[in-house]
Amino acid sequence: MQPAFVKLVVVGDTNVGKTSLVNRYVEDTFSDSLGNTVGVDFFACKMQLFGQTHTVQLWDTAGQERFKSVVKCYFKSASGVLLIFDLTARESFKHIETWLLDIDENINPSTAKVLVGNKADLTENRAVSYEEAREFAESRKMMYFETSAKSALGVDVLFESIVKNIVEEMNVAGQDQSRDNSNTQIRLGRASSGAPSKSSGGCCNF
């Protein structure tokens, strides 16, 4: 197992809690009064898995319609895509279909995708059942997770599961390549600096 470089893109309608999930995972914080994301924000962190330190980049995209063309630029080089909806807003679940169309047009078919129902703490306002969301996810060959950025429920498990999955896939692909050409040195990824950090990204500037 080699250190890997994993790029995750977080998408979904506005206000479903994408930024809140990323903040909860990277900084273990939550705010009730976050502004809407403009374009795309970029975070980086390290993850220990299989005895190695892997670099994980998180691209937190804007859900507002006016940023859609900008956001699409970021799908191409993703190792994985997290599709987030709000468990209390049925429309945001319905729109996952449209997000999938946009994503599938722009990514490699082998890119990992996971479906995430967020705001699981708001149990009384739930508008999408666990079973319905899980069945939909299964029909599209995605894993399904429920999270609450507010209470932190399921957040670490979500990010660690998708990275673990991707790193394992990279390792298998690396081994296959190694068998095909034993003289080639396999590089699964590159290390990058630093503990949790944040900066803004420009369109297609990655």
Q: Which of 34, 47, 70, 203 binds ligand GTP (CB under 6 A)?
A: 34
Binding of ligand GTP at residue 82 (CB under 6 A)? no
Q: Which of 54, 150, 167, 188 binds ligand GTP (CB under 6 A)?
A: 150
Residue 105 CB coordination number (10 Å): 9
Cα separation, 193 vs 206, in Å, equals 15
Q: Write down the H helix ranges in the chain.
A: 18-27, 68-72, 90-94, 96-106, 130-139, 155-180
Binding of ligand GTP at residue 15 (CB under 6 A)? yes
- In a 10 Å sphere around its CB, with 0-12 CB exposed, 13-18 middle and 19+ buried, how is residue 21 labelled? buried
Binding mask 91-130 for ligand GTP (x = CB under 6 A): ---------------------------xx-xx--------
Angle at 7 between CA 2 and CA 13, to 5 degrees: 155
The pairing of beta strand 143-146 with beta strand 197-201: unpaired
Q: Which two tokens stand for residue 17?
A: 């809690």
Binding of Mg ion at residue 111 (CB under 5 A)? no
Whether 92 and 85 have beta carbons less than 8 Å apart is answered as: yes
- In the block, residue with structure tokens 């399921």: 154
Binding of ligand GTP at residue 14 (CB under 6 A)? yes
Q: Which of 7, 18, 54, 113 binds ligand GTP (CB under 6 A)?
A: 18
Q: Which of 5, 19, 26, 93 binds Mg ion (CB under 5 A)?
A: 19
Binding of ligand GTP at residue 70 (CB under 6 A)? no
**Contact positions toward ligand GTP, by CB under 6 A?**
14-20, 31-32, 34, 36-37, 62-64, 118-119, 121-122, 148-150
**Contact positions toward Mg ion, by CB under 5 A?**
18-19, 37
